[in-house]
Structure 1
Amino acid sequence: MLSGSAWMTAGSVTSRIIGALYIIPWTTWLGAYSTQANALYAQGYNIYNLFLVVATAGIPSAISKLVAHYNGINEYSVGRRLYRSGMYISMAMGVICATIMLFGANLLNNGDPNVTPVIRSLAWAVLVIPAMSITRGFLQGYNWMAPSAMSQFVEQVFRVVYMLAATYFIMKMHPTHWVPAVTQSTFAAFIGAIGAILVLGFAYLKHLGEMNKLATQGVQDKDVRTRELIFKIIYQAIPFIVIEAGITIFQLIDQYTFKRVMTMMGGYTSYQINAVYALFAFNANKLYMIVISLASAMAATVIPLLATARAQGNQKSMRDQIENGIMLFYFVMIPSSLGLAAVAQQIYTVFYRYDAAGVTILEFAAFMAIPFGLYTVGAAMMQGISENKKMMKFLAIGVMIKLIIQAPLIFFLKGMGPLLATGISMMVINYLILHSFNMEFRLRFHQMAKPTNQILAYSLIMFVAVKAVMMGINLFVSPYGRYTAFFALIPGVIVGVSVFGYLALRFRLIDEIMGQARANYFRLKLHVN
């Protein structure tokens, strides 16, 4: 799990960081139109994310799980046939969803004609990404996480280079043409997908000999027909569609309710509503999703591991994987979220220029990232043990809660209302997931209590230390400039990593996560007694 998570975390986090860093030049070149551009970008991408989940149909995760299952029982040839069958399905879904986006954009634009070309530009990415995603899932089924990580990185590099070049030329030639600039920026998703496909194609060919050897040596199950495999893929994929779309569903609820509720309240112009929407739906989202990408990486790793344990009927291994997954999540996510909250003012200023409202929303969103991330990991583990129906029921309960509390929270909290509504809903879902695990596997919470409390305590100490450093620097350096905020950010990050790392090593917390041998190695190298 650590090895797979390391690769997936590296790929996911670096791609997320690249996907956030582009904001600095992008917003600079868009100038006065940057806030409206951010809101338009967010609206287009929310719709795109939903269609992307439907287009891939949950097949990559389903393939990852099924391939791991058949590999676990030495039927490697069945996994290869699964891949081919899944490719046919996903390509067909890509064509269908891309067609709907191209010709139905006017019906999806939420009354804003500027959204229409953005949706159409994203249709091309939906056309090709299913084939890319299913190849990732297939390789993950063998626990080969490196190709997925590398493809994520290359995908972001291709995407960001294209979108920045296009935005620069459009805004330099036509300074008021911000909608075409956003449209080309979203079309960049297609360019990025092409880069990822090249990496995955190379990885597939590299491992082809090894896969052929495993298939030849493994059990040859002639009884599993292609039609049966396709049915299995679809059966496994349908819950994945709903569950993987969970966060996107919550974001779409925000998109289609926030403007209406704010308009009904009166006293706000369309520009003001778009500006507030951009603060939480795009600006804060881009930054806290870097932290959530840590959880997504762990989620991608845990599905095949749990599926293999389930295929082998190993109840103890499943319990161990779930406990390890939860502890690894706590160890990475809690200090990361509190660290982001501690440097929220500096990091927001670096990316978007100083804005008091934006900083406040980012600080709040950093804490909400913890239940968001736990949902990602918990849902993945539920799927890994084939509790799909139960997970869909939990998600439905969460969506109902979100719909009930959304309008009142927007009324009282404005831009923070949607974030809190999602956070509360996710907390309920997370409780139901953990309760379900405990009922089935009798999780050893008494053994997990000490390291969990250590993580919370050390994270809070780190938060206070970093916040004190930031406040001290602000006494001597202006916190409102991009360059000064960037240079203030560096000592803040160093202090945060040093404080948490020292406490984790000194008081043996890291032993619980990485094992005593690795922990002793780090203690020796860093001279921590």
Structure 2
Amino acid sequence: MSEGQQKDTARSKMLNGSAWMTAGNITSRILGAIYIIPWVTWLGAYSDEANALYAQGYNIYSLFITISTAGIPSAISKLVAHYNGLNEYGVSQKLNRSALYMALASGVICGTVMMYIASWPIVYNGDTNLIPVLRSLAWAIFIIPLMAISRGIFQGYSMMAPSAISQFVEQLFRIIYMLGATYLIMKIQKGSWVSAVSQSTFAAFIGAIGACVVLFLAWLKYRGVMQGTGTIEQPVTEVSTTELILKIVYQSIPFIIIESGINLFQLIDQYSFKRMMPLVGHFTKYQIDVLYALFAFNANKLYMIIIALANALAVTAIPLLAMARAKNDQTGMRNQIENVLMLFYFVMIPAVLGLYAVAQQVYTVFYRYNHAGVIVLEFAAFMAIPLGLYTVAAAMMQGISENRRMMKYLGIGLIIKLLIQFPCIWIAQGLGPLLSTGIAMMVINYLIIHSFNQEFRLNFEQMALPTNQILAYSLVMLVITKGIMLLLGLFISPYGRYTAFFILVIGVIVGAGVYGYLSLHFRLADKLLGGRAQRLRQIFHMN
């Protein structure tokens, strides 16, 4: 197979997998943002405090998810792809069973630990309202490892649809319970906002049950295909269950550390921001809680929708790179890395600039107009690029088995974050934690891409033209969209939720239309989407 054909094949697999994962990630993220509108409305005057409490609980919960799954989903995805690449399909089946046993054990252990330590002062950080929130989240930890490992198994076979559908169902079940409980407590019972937050976080357990049902049904549907794969060629290696478990543990430890990278940065913010803010100015506890909620919850919920695009690329990249590594296919690995980077630029740069252009309208629709909140979201939008690139680049490092080097780079980034956290808060106050995270992530990303170039000699010359086109078309889209937003704001109030939503819809249509037209007309999309770009031109009569 020629290098050009290899590139097309790699790009096709990446696009197919990313399409499913993007659909699952984006729809679940959008659902996870839309619920905010009624949730904030029903909480009323307590909404900012509730957002801060919710964010604190979820930061700790996210770390426990990473620990409880022990990085096994990504490790399983990688190992299954590795053994399938060697035609060792029987080993893959044995691997799956071992991982499921480990998931059950880790869920019970980590759920119990989280339930127990919720009442420790060092954990609830002076806010006793956090205790019931953490205990309600602990229930989800009991079953989430099983759910996550099941997704990793499907991804190892490059079956992205079950994972994507389960993500959507998980979010749907979670939101239905969350909104129902909040309405009952706040509007009917006139109860405590802390109870409403506790039930909202317990909804994670309800969502996980829904996802597990979807994954079980998918296993019933595809088990014949997955087991039948082994009939192509019988395994030539005997591997004991103990050896497989040790392999899983060995592969998963770096995944624990690396995949919790963004969460570790957020925990640094959670435990340092409230202590550092009184040192840079006179702020009340309420003011600090509101500032924390603006960047840690309000803006985070919205720009994480964009980062979900990067997550989709990352999940797809790991098994494809692992398979190429198993075959020692240097050309395949280089092509895959270049494909992922270019797709990242193609999607993330216009998405970030688009969010910046409509930040006021987006924030107003979800939270009500707040000048400070809009500024935070505009700034946070740009931070989505280094955060998203970290997600993708770290996944590719793991896909080519550079775990130790990746952990070293993450360690350097965390040290930089700790060193510049206070200076950034002193300079930018509420924007300081985002600024320090962005700087630290840019350093990590530089080290990763430099490492790729040292090993694979990436074709930066070939990547330069499409990258410049992406940037140019995105800037054109930004100017046009921002101009229309300002123009419409002269005639329609941008401060009400309904009017802001009307302006937002126009802005999104214009922005997507401008970027899409330029990408298709000047054939940029052809370089990244292949034949799909031509089909899109036919649909929109652009030939």
TM-score, normalised to structure 1, is 0.99
| Counterpart secondary structure, 1:528 | coil
Deviation at 1:222, TM superposition (A): 5.2
Aligned counterpart in structure 2 of residue 101 of structure 1, from 114, 134, 147: 114
Aligned counterpart in structure 1 of residue 263 of structure 2, from 248, 252, 263: 248
Deviation at 1:525, TM superposition (A): 2.5
Deviation at 1:264, TM superposition (A): 2.8
Show CA shifts across 1:22-78 (max 9, x none): 000000000000000000000000000001000000000000000001111111111
Equivalence for 1:110 = 125
| Counterpart secondary structure, 1:106 | coil
**Which residues in structure 2 correspond to 1:326-405 (within 5 Å)?**
326-405=341-420
Equivalence for 2:539 = 525
- 2:357 touches 2:478 (CA, 8 Å); kept in 1? yes
- 2:390 touches 2:445 (CA, 8 Å); kept in 1? yes
CA distance in 2, matches of 1:58, 1:196: 19
Deviation at 1:212, TM superposition (A): 2.2
CA distance in 2, matches of 1:264, 1:433: 35
- 2:118 touches 2:124 (CA, 8 Å); kept in 1? yes
Q: 1:322 and 2:322 equivalent?
A: no
Equivalence for 1:64 = 77
- 2:307 touches 2:387 (CA, 8 Å); kept in 1? yes
CA distance in 2, matches of 1:83, 1:40: 37
Q: 1:224 and 2:249 equivalent?
A: no
- 1:77 touches 1:218 (CA, 8 Å); kept in 2? no
CA distance in 2, matches of 1:484, 1:173: 29
Show CA shifts across 1:239-264 (max 9, x none): 00000000000000000000000123
Deviation at 1:90, TM superposition (A): 2.0
Deviation at 1:316, TM superposition (A): 0.3
CA distance in 2, matches of 1:256, 1:20: 25
Deviation at 1:176, TM superposition (A): 4.8
Equivalence for 2:495 = 480
Deviation at 1:216, TM superposition (A): 3.5
CA distance in 1, matches of 2:358, 2:87: 49
Equivalence for 1:53 = 66
Deviation at 1:492, TM superposition (A): 0.3
Show CA shifts across 1:504-528 (max 9, x none): 011110011011x322222232232
**Which residues in structure 2 correspond to 1:120-519 (within 5 Å)?**
120-221=135-236, 223-515=238-530, 517-519=531-533
| Counterpart secondary structure, 1:475 | helix
CA distance in 2, matches of 1:431, 1:404: 19
* Equivalent pairs, count: 528
Aligned counterpart in structure 1 of residue 46 of structure 2, from 33, 36, 41: 33
Unmatched tracts of structure 1, length 5 or more: none
| Counterpart secondary structure, 1:414 | helix
Question: Which letter does structure 1 place at the counterpart of 2:320?
Answer: L
| Counterpart secondary structure, 1:30 | helix
Which shows bigger deviation, 204-213 or 458-467?
A: 204-213
Question: Which letter does structure 2 place at the counterpart of 1:518?
Answer: R
| Counterpart secondary structure, 2:175 | helix
TM-score, normalised to structure 2, is 0.96
CA distance in 1, matches of 2:312, 2:226: 24
CA distance in 2, matches of 1:288, 1:414: 20
Which shows bigger deviation, 93-102 or 464-473?
A: 93-102
CA distance in 2, matches of 1:218, 1:200: 27
CA distance in 2, matches of 1:526, 1:454: 21
Question: Which letter does structure 1 place at the counterpart of 2:402?
Answer: E
RMSD of aligned alpha carbons: 0.9
Show CA shifts across 1:252-303 (max 9, x none): 0000000000123341110000000000000000000000000001100000
Equivalence for 2:89 = 76
